[in-house]
């Protein structure tokens, strides 16, 4: 396999259309064709945009270029409800959409900005209310009452926790629901399969790639892979059920030793990781003394992936990969590589589902699970250089997001970035 170490990617051609090199990957992707797959083309390279704080505490933010395009106002006295309207007048009937959050998350900042971007670009006169129910049943019930009594046409369930709550209490409800930033609904028992609709008021999208496809990419990256450290927040039930445990089983089936690195207290993740990672590295050295055939893989656990500085400081020479493309970012506090579905791509697909439902083109219950394909690939060559790692050329060729040896972006959303940025 030819490997490529990046020196100056800015002038090189853009990637081919996300092509997955390697027979194993193509075969596995073809094997999931029963599901609904969509190549989601970003409206603009939104990666790496700064996040602008708003006046709504620490739970709601927009990326900077969206903050000026929408008028924001508090919708209640406690600051847990935000009203958003287009800053410029848009013709046509106003569509009212309610977005239900369970808590703050940087992933939700990216996703809601992407959804707003989609509706702006499509010229849809939409009014959004974002409501944080804080995982409280009474608040959630109040949100549903608001939705049905104040003329809303559609709900977005933001995050796996909101989706699970709504699925439990609002399945077959009056309004359609579209999931965003949520883990795989089939693995979670919310959908019977990928080849049918829900038959109720839910339309699901998934942040998950099929585990066998994810593992196939890892084996293409490290053909002699011996040890796979799986980083997860044990309290994040959706990440455990749809990512960590299935990956553990898949690795064992391929003769790869999985090392389950689980944080037990999300608020203490930094301290736990500082102890768990060195212990995992010692175990990797038992079968891989030079750490040439071992990797760490981060699941979609916010409590874990927000601690990239701690992870890199304690991972030794072991490459850190992620299922979340946004974990690969500018600078050194980054994973080396990610193959997965970005929050932006997932939100784009969710917005497209919502528009089809609002336009009357389909019913929520008729839509199959939305899974973005091909996956987003992100590489940080600064981290690769710091640990002496060569990245296979096929990954660079297909990457949507690339950061050079100095940690600066040279490709965002598949587009070359001018050197001055």
> Do 309 and 367 share a domain, yes or no?
no
Q: Are 299 and 239 in contact (CB under 8 A)?
A: yes
Q: How far is CA 110 from CA 66, 165, 169, 392, 400, in A?
A: 10, 22, 27, 29, 17
Is residue 43 one of the residues assigned to a domain? no
- Angle at alpha carbon of residue 257, lines to 256 and 260, rounded to 5°: 130
> Do 391 and 367 share a domain, yes or no?
no
Q: What is the DSSP letter of 205?
A: B
Name the percent of the chain lying above pLDDT 90.
78
> Do 121 and 152 share a domain, yes or no?
yes
203-251 pLDDT, tens digit each:
999 999 989 999 999 999 999 999 999 999 999 999 999 999 999 999 9
What are φ and ψ of residue 43, in 5° steps? -70, -30
Mean pLDDT of 389-396: 93
> Do 264 and 397 share a domain, yes or no?
yes
**Cα separation, 176 vs 95, whole angstroms:** 13
Is residue 63 one of the residues assigned to a domain? yes
Find the length of the chain.
421
DSSP secondary structure letters along 361-399:
SS-GGGPPPEEESSPEEEEEHHHHHHTT-PEEHHHHHH-
Number of neighbours of residue 54 by Cβ within 10 angstroms: 16
Q: Which domain holds residue 243?
A: 3-31+209-340+377-416
29-73 pLDDT, tens digit each:
333 333 344 444 443 434 444 344 444 667 999 987 777 889 888
Residue 137 has pLDDT above 80, yes or no: yes
**Cα separation, 338 vs 343, whole angstroms:** 13
What are φ and ψ of residue 155, in 5° steps? -115, 140
Is residue 358 one of the residues assigned to a domain? yes
DSSP secondary structure letters along 179-228:
EES---TTTTTSSS-SSS--SSSEE-B-SPPPHHHHHHHHHHHSTT--EE
> Do 316 and 367 share a domain, yes or no?
no
Which residues lie closer than 8 Å to 152 by C-beta, 6 or more apart? 96, 97, 98, 129, 146, 175
> Do 219 and 236 share a domain, yes or no?
yes
Residue in 313, 294, 226, 301 with CA at minimum distance from that of residue 262: 301
Q: Are 3 and 391 in contact (CB under 8 A)?
A: yes
Is residue 44 one of the residues assigned to a domain? no
Provide the domain count of the chain. 2
Q: What's the pTM?
A: 0.82
Task: Report the DSSP pairing between strands 320-322 and 257-263.
Answer: unpaired
Question: Residue 5: is it exposed, middle or buried by C-beta count within 10 angstroms (0-12/13-18/19+)?
Answer: middle
Q: Which two tokens stand for residue 334?
A: 């980054």
- SS3 assignment, position 266: helix
Residue in 42, 27, 6, 405 with CA at minimum distance from that of residue 212: 27
E strands of 39-153, at which residues? Answer: 51-53, 61-63, 70-74, 81-86, 95-101, 126-132
Question: What's the pLDDT at 21?
Answer: 35
249-296 pLDDT, tens digit each:
999 999 999 999 999 999 999 999 999 999 999 999 999 999 999 999
Q: How far is CA 196 from CA 29, 32, 45, 347, in A?
A: 18, 13, 33, 21
286-326 pLDDT, tens digit each:
999 999 999 999 999 999 999 999 999 999 999 999 999 99
User: At what angle are helices 211-221 and 245-253 packed, to 10 degrees?
Assistant: 60
Is residue 42 one of the residues assigned to a domain? no
User: How many alpha carbons fall within 13 Å on the CB side of residue 388?
Assistant: 6
Q: What CATH number is attached to the domain comprising 218? A: 3.40.50.2300
Is residue 39 one of the residues assigned to a domain? no
Q: Which two tokens stand for residue 178?
A: 């579209």
> Do 265 and 304 share a domain, yes or no?
yes
> Do 409 and 276 share a domain, yes or no?
yes
Torsion of Cα atoms, 259 then 260 then 261 then 266, to 10°: 170
What are φ and ψ of residue 72, in 5° steps? -115, 140
**Cα separation, 296 vs 228, whole angstroms:** 6
**Cα separation, 284 vs 402, whole angstroms:** 28
> Do 229 and 296 share a domain, yes or no?
yes
> Do 203 and 243 share a domain, yes or no?
no
> Do 230 and 140 share a domain, yes or no?
no
Residue 19 has pLDDT above 80, yes or no: no
> Do 234 and 296 share a domain, yes or no?
yes
Question: What's the pLDDT at 57?
Answer: 64
Question: What's the pLDDT at 146?
Answer: 93
Is residue 40 one of the residues assigned to a domain? no
**Cα separation, 79 vs 72, whole angstroms:** 12
Is residue 37 one of the residues assigned to a domain? no
Q: How far is CA 119 from CA 37, 184, 198, 350, in A?
A: 21, 25, 25, 11
97-120 pLDDT, tens digit each:
999 999 999 899 999 999 999 999
- SS3 assignment, position 247: helix
Residue in 122, 6, 115 with CA at minimum distance from that of residue 63: 115
**Cα separation, 276 vs 230, whole angstroms:** 11
Residue 348 has pLDDT above 70, yes or no: yes
Residue in 323, 133, 176 with CA at minimum distance from that of residue 238: 323
């Amino acid at each position: 396999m030819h490997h490529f170490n990046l020196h100056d990617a800015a002038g090189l051609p853009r990637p081919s259309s996300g092509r997955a090199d390697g027979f194993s990957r193509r075969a596995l992707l073809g094997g999931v064709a029963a599901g609904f797959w969509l190549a989601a083309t970003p409206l603009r390279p939104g990666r790496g945009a700064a996040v602008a704080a708003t006046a709504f505490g620490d739970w709601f933010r927009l990326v900077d270029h969206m903050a000026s395009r929408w008028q924001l106002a508090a919708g209640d006295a406690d600051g847990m409800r935000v009203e958003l309207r287009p800053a410029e007048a848009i013709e046509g009937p106003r569509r009212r959409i309610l977005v239900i959050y369970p808590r703050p998350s940087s992933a939700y900042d990216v996703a809601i900005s992407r959804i707003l971007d989609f509706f702006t670009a499509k010229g849809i006169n939409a009014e959004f209310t974002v409501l944080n129910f804080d995982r409280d049943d009474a608040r959630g019930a109040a949100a549903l009452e608001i939705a049905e009594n104040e003329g809303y046409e559609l709900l977005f369930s933001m995050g796996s926790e909101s989706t699970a709550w709504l699925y439990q209490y609002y399945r077959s409800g009056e309004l359609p629901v579209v999931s965003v930033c949520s883990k795989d609904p089939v693995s979670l028992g919310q959908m019977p399969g990928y080849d049918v609709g829900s038959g109720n008021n839910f339309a699901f999208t998934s942040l998950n790639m099929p585990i066998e496809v994810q593992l196939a990419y890892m084996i293409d990256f490290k053909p002699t892979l011996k040890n796979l450290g799986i980083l997860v927040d044990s309290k994040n039930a959706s990440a455990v059920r749809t990512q960590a445990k299935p990956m553990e089983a898949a690795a064992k089936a391929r003769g790869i030793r999985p090392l389950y690195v689980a944080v037990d207290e999300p608020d203490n993740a930094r301290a736990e990781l500082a102890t768990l990672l060195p212990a995992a590295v010692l175990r990797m050295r038992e079968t891989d003394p030079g750490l040439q055939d071992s990797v760490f893989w981060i699941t979609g656990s916010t409590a874990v992936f927000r601690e990239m500085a701690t992870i890199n400081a304690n991972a030794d020479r072991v490459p850190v990969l992620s299922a979340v493309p946004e974990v690969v970012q500018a600078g050194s506090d980054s994973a080396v590589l990610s193959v997965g579905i970005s929050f932006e791509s997932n939100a784009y697909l969710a917005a497209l589902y919502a528009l089809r439902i609002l336009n009357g083109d389909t019913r929520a219950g008729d839509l199959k699970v939305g899974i973005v394909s091909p996956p987003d690939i992100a590489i940080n060559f600064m981290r690769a250089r710091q640990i002496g790692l060569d990245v296979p050329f096929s990954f660079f060729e297909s990457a949507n997001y690339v950061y050079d040896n100095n940690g600066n972006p040279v490709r965002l959303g598949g587009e070359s970035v001018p050197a001055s940025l």
